[in-house]
Structure 1
């Protein structure tokens, strides 16, 4: 996984119940746009703003 998103993907799946297909599609978009995974998921409508904030909080602590 690029940018070492392994622990983030695990968090997304286990804590936020984000489907693996959505994550896989977003990871492909990340490669094309050089954008961070959480932002791509939010732009695609997969995450709410509250979930995005929760991810950023988690990333600060990780």
Structure 2
């Protein structure tokens, strides 16, 4: 899966949660198998608050199917 497949979520992380490109890239490097783990990785490394983590889960739950991130095939 390439980065364009989860671009809407990355945009959400930048625009709505104010996460820097560096923070998101760090989490992406740690995440090799499932992109769905990105929110947990960000939280695990202390890069987002629990409130931000919950906001990410809310976004993922309510995002249109075309904006959803999905596991690698």
Task: Please give the range of the TM-score, normalised by the shorter of the 2 chains.
Answer: 0.7 to 0.9
TM-score (norm 2): 0.75
Where 2:47 maps in the other structure, the secondary structure is coil
Give the structure with the larger helix fraction.
1
Deviation >3 Å, runs of 4+: none
**TM alignment of 1:10-21, pairs within 5 A:** 10-21=11-22
Query: Mind listing any 5+ residue stretches in structure 2 that lack a counterpart?
Result: 64-73
Paired residues, number = 59
Aligned CA RMSD, in angstroms, stands at 1.3
